[in-house]
Amino acid sequence: MITLTENAIKAVGRFISSSDKPSAGLRIEVSDGGCSGMQYGLKLESQKNEGDTEIECGEVKVLIDPVSLTMLDGMSIDFIDSLDGSGFKFTNPNAVKSCACGSSFTTADNGAPTKTCS
Residue 118's pLDDT band, with cuts at 50, 70 and 90, is very low
pLDDT digit string, tens, across residues 57-96: 988 999 999 999 988 999 999 999 888 888 998 888 877 7
Compute CA 85 distance to the chain's CA centroid, rounded to the nearest angstrom. Answer: 18
pLDDT at 100: 62
Cβ burial of 102 (10 Å; 0-12, 13-18, 19+) is: middle
Question: What is the average per-residue pLDDT within 35-62?
Answer: 90
Q: What is the domain class of 3-107 according to CATH? A: mainly beta
The domain segmentation of the chain, as residue ranges, is 3-107
Distance CA 58, CA 6 (A): 8
Q: By C-alpha distance, which of 38, 36, 20, 19 is closest to 28?
A: 38
